[in-house]
Amino acid sequence: MADELFVPLYEKIARKNTIQRSLDITLLFLLVSLLGYRLFCLNNHGLPWFIALVCELWFTFNWVLVVNCKWSPVEYKTYPENLERRFPELPNVDMFVTTADPVLEPPIIAVNNVLSLLAADYPADKLACYVSDDGCFPLTFYSLVEASKFAKLWVPFCKKYKIQVRAPFRYFFGDSEPSSTDGNLEFQQDWLKMKAEYEVLARKIEEAARKSVPCDLTGDFAVFCDVERRNHPTIIKDDTLLNEFGNSEELINSAVQALKGKKGFPNNLSNSLEAACKVASCSYEYGTSWGTKCGWIYGATAEDLLTGLKIHAKGWNSALHMPELPGFMGCTPSGGPEAMAQQKRWATGLAEILVGKNCPIIATLTAKLQFRMCLAYLWILFWGLRSIPQLCYAALPAYCILANSHFLPKVEEPAIWIPIATFVTYNLHTLREYLKAGLSIRAWWNNLRMGSITATSAYLFGLFAAILKLLRISETVFEVTQKDQSCDGDDPDVTKFTFNESAVFVPGTTLLLVHLISLLCLSSKLPTPVHDMHGVGLGEVFCSLWVVLCFWPFLNGLFERGKYGIPLSTILKSAALALLFVHFCRT
């Protein structure tokens, strides 16, 4: 029996890292060389050279933090079969699903989340799922009541056939359809039955969503009558279902809470979780502290990062767990207002942490956080502050073309090979990481492009929001974003960038217009050789073209209509700013 206590649950395996370390060091050497060259030639150049130096200092510092975080990568080989041997009495597990608005976050998404969690490969009597609806909508409760009926069929089906993709809308509309040659007739029949049942569930929820009142507000639904969204008492609904399947019991415990802060107070997720923990059957040392020590009570929108920081400061360690991608239920849009809002919220939270009382530097100085863990948090926090250096660096090529200046060595100078080697090495390095992770070149390019777009737009507004809060001019608010119901890979529009009239799209549109104007002005000077134009070099022209490529979705948006087109108001604002920039460059 004593030997059972030492049965390993996982094994930490050091990953060979020779090539990656070589590339990391090479890139760091190139960055330091570029800084050294800029400092050596600083007196012979003007403002663009100095701005490039400051921006590259930031990039180099950030790269040092990146190298620290990925210097010694490890992989975890897990042994779930040893779990019951190690712990004959498995602990209770409580899972939380949060939602706030059935229009922006369709209930079918929350339903699929709950169903995928309930069907997890874990003893059913030790598994509970709690759904927090901060908007107090009867539609959410109605959807979950109907989903609980479907769960009585779905959970046994998943466990009987060991289904890994447990979110129904992913499973039935993916590649799981049994073929006609499949010899398992029972599975084919069960599959068709389950799909029909899920379609009935989805249709009921869809029809309820079309009504002003989704159902009769009587019985269990009576508490939702005449509820004021921003000022109502806590509503807790507990729905426990017991389903017999063979010799096993499937316990489905789904508590629906519709919570909201008192009038005059901001939407506070920690309030929801605090109430949820009062209902929970076990939530342990840190679970019971939600609402008093964890959550948005910290005063920042990045409460997840703050919770991790607090836990690490108490001596906890973390392990990276990356399940197979099909196991994920949700879908993140490739770009658009929702993605920008999420990135802005994230950047605001990072800035709030860095300048607040929970800064990891303070935790390290008070001996509450390991130094290397502090560097890892600083990398994340400084990543959210990269908007200004990246925006300045992206605008430099256009400025140099318009002002007949340069921030890169001339083509004929040997030093030109330093920025070229840096650019090539960095992009090949990141591409290699994507390919090694099993991702495509297209995924690499999309993420590289979106990194430039979000850094110069959403992150910029997030930084301003944090500064306004620091100066006590305004408070940050938690914005609920629109969630996609479908992520069909065959849909040609699913990866298209969408726009609205939000000011977050003004910087990107302005930057694109500035580069288009600069390239247009340059073309009017041809056929004069580019490298002979009063200091304008071929490097600046290439960088300007690169920025246009990165902001290609904005270029498409100038000519599209509807949600795929940039609104006229945004174009006019950006055009005015672009003309001011051009005037500044010419003076």
Most confident of 6-20, 215-229, 409-423, 473-487: 409-423
pLDDT tens, position by position, 20-63: 899 999 999 999 999 999 999 998 888 999 999 999 999 999 99
Active-site positions read: 134, 304
Percent of the chain with pLDDT over 70: 76
Tokens 């969503």: give the residue.
209
Q: If you average pLDDT over every residue of the chain, what do you get?
A: 77
Q: Confidence class of residue 324 from pLDDT cuts 50, 70 and 90?
A: low
> Would you say 293 and 311 are in contact if contact means Cβ atoms under 8 Å apart?
no
pLDDT digits (tens, 9 = 90+) for 250-268: 333 444 444 333 343 334 3
The backbone region for 262, taken as left when phi is positive above 0, alpha when psi lies in -120 to 50, beta otherwise, is beta
Q: Which residue has the higher pLDDT, 303 or 188?
A: 188
- pTM over the 0.85 mark: no
Question: What single-letter DSSP state applies at residue 267?
Answer: -
Q: What are phi and psi of 298, to 5 degrees?
A: -65, -25
Quote the pLDDT of residue 462: 85
pLDDT at position 271 is: 41
Residues 363-391 as b/e (b if ≥16 CB within 10 A, e otherwise) read bbeeebbeeebbbbbbbbbbbbbbbbbbb
Residue 288 has pLDDT above 50, yes or no: no
**Can you name the residues that pair with 84 across neighbouring β-strands?**
none
Of the listed ranges 367-371, 410-414, 425-429, the least confidently predicted one is 367-371
Q: Calculate Rg over the CA atoms of the chain.
A: 27
Q: What is the mean pLDDT of residues 171-185?
A: 66
**H helices of 257-302, where?**
269-279, 284-287
Using the predicted structure, report yes or no on whether residue 242 has a pLDDT greater than 50.
Answer: no
Tokens 């991608």 correspond to 325
Highest mean pLDDT out of 43-52, 279-288, 520-529: 43-52
Q: Evaluate if residue 492 carries a pLDDT over 50.
A: no
Instruction: Assign 12 to helix, strand or coil.
Output: strand
DSSP string, 211-254: SSS-S---GGGGGGTT--TTS---EEEEEEEEEEETTEEEEEEE
- For the stretch 119-146, pLDDT in tens is 888 887 788 888 877 777 888 888 888 9
Q: Spell out the residues 6+ positions from residue 97 whose beta carbon is closer than 8 angstroms to its own.
A: 110, 113, 114, 117, 129, 130, 131, 132
Tokens describing residue 391? 């925006």
Q: What does the pLDDT average to over 225-231?
A: 69
Tokens (6 digits) for 2: 């004593």
